[in-house]
Structures are given as structure tokens and as C-alpha cells.
A = this chain, B = another copy of it.
Amino acid sequence: MTERATSPVYRILDRDGLRDLLAELHEVRALLGGEPGDWQVGEVGDGNLNLVFIVEGPGGSVCVKQALPYVRAAGPSWPMPAERAFFERSYYAAVEPYVGRLIPRIYHYDARHHCTVMERLSPHIILRQGLIAGRRYPNLGRDVGEYIARACFFTSDLAWPFERKMEGLALFAANKPLVRITVDLVFADPYFSSPRNRHTSPQLDLLAAELRRDGPLKAAAARFGRKFLSETQALVHGDLHSGSVMVTAEDTRVIDPEFAFYGPIGFDLGAFWGNLLLSWYSQPGHATPDDDRRAYRDWILAEATRFWECFRGRFLALWSEHGKGDVLPAAMFSAPADASTLEAARGAFLDSLLADMLGFGACKMIRRILGFAHVIDFEAIRDPQVRGACEAGALAMARALLTHPEQFRSLREVIDAVPRMARRAEA
């Protein structure tokens, strides 16, 4: 575990320090070409936590992500162990054999400076920016569905004897500071008057107060908070929203897994699905005279459906082919008559993942509107009246998902309810 201890030689990298570090790495040096002095270094990080450098040489370019010992968005007054980079690297290493090209290639992890040298994704952009711009990504739902299916299946007790998961469990149980962020910012703060919260005010004042008085809503959110902390189904990314996916028209990559830990599979599903829905609700704020975004909204809902269906199909196929774990052990279900039992049991497990996706997705929607960290999908809407109306629609849907899940008997019924509830709110 020496890699995880804070290194006494840690320093925040500047351009020269970064050149020195990369100059020692043969593979990276060959990739960049030329001499270190020829390399162009730019800092491009726009996230809440880290430094991100792009280094360009005459032969190619790499991306370098360095964890700061504090929250970048807040400064040194909010310390945050830089060791989180170790968990990001460990997550990438754990899923890489299964997800292949759906993550960036990792060239090097430097334990001294908690930084990762990786493939520079180009011309990829952050999915969230693409959704705001109204661009379509034909492989999106399929790729992310496949990604979660593979990453979660192969780190669960469904694929391997449980001893393998328990080893990972011990390692990632140390990623406490990042899990603490989720516990507080997703499952607690939005539901009371925490000083860290903000919302579109005064437009959402009444609605926020009403939600914070809604006992069944709070109990449901707390139930998902409990599941988050006590269901170790698989190694989850932990922050798989549309800001953690980079895309081109053809290619999809999942990045930024520093929140990784063993948790419920539905948490990753819900993060992605819930953020697709947030994009849907934000679209009226990005409409232009040329594009009212109506057709684009339909595309988003179609992808949200495709995402779940691809996940479900891939997960079941993997289970069928690679189910060598201790869950539904093969020896117990080896007779021909067991086939239908096995199919029903696996289907019931997938049903529980769907319910979790909807619940966790709803929690993720609420925290982005009433909590600390908001999303640019809404923040970019200048007019607070328009923004507030978009956000209110998303809150209504999230609230229905948490307090009356029984009214939706399938994902289809949820997806159908999205525009119907929005029309009703406008009427």
C-alpha cells in the first residue's frame, strides 16, 4: 500500500516539472517525439477537483491528470487527499481487461505526484457539452450500457468466486473521502437546509421547501443512501454522469473514476440515466429559432431506453456465458429443468437493478438542482424563469420515481411519462 501513502516528494506539477516527469517515460517520450523542450504543455482542467494537462509533441500528444491535495473548485481550504488518484488508477486497472477501448489507454501512474499519464482523447468532447449543443451520438446508449454491463459484471460475485471481490473490497474501502462526498452531497444535503446547497431562487423556493417537508420522499432517498453504503454488488465507477463520458460521433470513453468503490450497480446506471433525463429537461433552455429541440428530446429518451436495454441484454449474455461465480452457482442449477429457474432468477435480479437505476437516478437529478454541485445543462440557461421551469419539471419526475415507483411497471412507462408529465405541468 506504499503507493497510497502521501508521498513526501509530492508537488503540484508545473510545466517544467511535468516535462521532467514525462522525459523519464520511454513509451511516452517516443509517442510525443522530439525533445522535452519541444513539447507544448497546456492546463485545460475545468472540473471540480484536479489539474489536467495536455502535452503535445511533434509525434503525438498525451493527457496528464494530477490530483490536487484539495478541492480545486474551493481551494486549499477544502482539503481532499490526492491519494484518490490511486483509486482511479486501480479502478482503470480492474476493469481494463473487460471494457477495453471504452476507457482511455493508461500509459503510466506516478505514485509520487498522484498523476496519471493517459491517452489524449481527440477530437472527443465531454458528452454533457454535446448534449447541450444538441448533437446526436448514435452509439451512446449502446456503448455506455455495454460499458456498465462489462465493468460491473466482471467485478461482481456473478463472474468469479467471491474471494476476488473481497480483495477489491478491502482495497477500495480506503477510498473514504470520495465516498463521503457522495454520501453528503447526494443523499443528505439536498433534503435539508444545508449551507452548501443552492437553487434557482426565488423560482424554486417553494418547491425546495415542499420537497424538504416530504417525508416519503426523504425516506426513499435515505433508503437509497443506505443501499449505496451497504450493497457491495460490484466495483462501481461512482460518478458516471454525462461529464464523465467523452464522445465523438463514433467513439465513447468513460473517464474520471476516482469515486470508485464497491457498491450497487444501480448507482452507475442511475447516474448516467438520470443525467440523460436532466439533459431532456434542460433542452427548452437551449432551443433556438432554428431548432426547438423537440426532435432532439425524443432522441434523448430513445437513447435512455436503448441504454437500459443494451445494458440488460449484455449483462444477461455475460452472465449466461461467464457466470462462474458464487451467485446462482452452476453446480446448483445443472439439470435441464433448472434452465427456466435460472432464467427467472437472473431476470428478477435485472428487475431489481432497473428499480435501483430509477431510484438512484432520481436522487442524482435532485442533488443537481437543490444541492451543492449543479450541472451546466441548467446553469447555462441564463433566464432564471426558463431555468427554474426546466428544473421544476425534472424535480417532479424525480419525486414521482422516488415516492410512487409502483406506478411505473416498466421502463417504457417511465419514459412515456416524461413528456406527459411535462405537458401537464405546462398546461
Contact = CB atoms under 8 A, between A and B. Distances in A.
A213 B337 contact: yes
Given A173-B169, A192-B334, A222-B345, A231 B229 contact: no
Interface string A201-243: 0000000000001011011011101100111110000000000
Contacts of A165: 229
Contact of A344 (B174, B187, B219): B219
12 contacts: A165-B229, A166-B174, A166-B179, A169-B169, A170-B174, A188-B329, A218-B332, A219-B341, A219-B344, A221-B332, A222-B332, A226-B349
Given A179-B166, A338-B215, A225 B327 contact: yes
Contact of A162 (B183, B191, B192): B183
A85 to B, nearest CB: 19
A167 interface: yes
A119 interface: no
B162 A218 contact: no
Nearest to A221: B332
Given A183-B326, A326-B225, A218 B333 contact: yes
Nearest to A190: B332
B327 A229 contact: yes
A11 interface: no
A40 interface: no
Oligomer: number of copies: 2
B192 A332 contact: yes
Contacts of A229: 157, 162, 165, 326-327
A4 B328 CA distance: 32
Nearest to A325: B229
A331 interface: yes
Given A162-B176, A162-B229, A222-B327, 7 more contacts: A162-B180, A166-B176, A170-B171, A192-B331, A221-B332, A222-B328, A230-B231
A9 interface: no
A360 B183 CA distance: 29
A219 B338 CA distance: 10
Nearest to A156: B230
A340 interface: yes
A7 interface: no
Interface of A is mostly: helix
Given A163-B180, A173-B169, A188 B326 contact: yes
Contacts of A173: 166-167, 169-170, 173
Contacts of A232: 230-232
Contacts of A171: 170
Contacts of A340: 215
Contacts of A215: 337-338, 340-341, 344
A170 to B, nearest CB: 4
A74 interface: no
B223 A345 contact: yes
A335 interface: yes
Contacts of A231: 230-232
A233 to B, nearest CB: 5
B327 A226 contact: yes
Nearest to A214: B341
A194 interface: yes
A360 to B, nearest CB: 16
A332 B226 CA distance: 14
Nearest to A338: B215
A90 to B, nearest CB: 14
Nearest to A346: B219
A218 B183 contact: no
A307 B218 CA distance: 32
The 10 A-B residue pairs whose C-beta atoms are closest, nearest first, are A215-B341, A170-B173, A219-B345, A166-B173, A170-B170, A169-B173, A226-B327, A191-B332, A163-B176, A222-B328
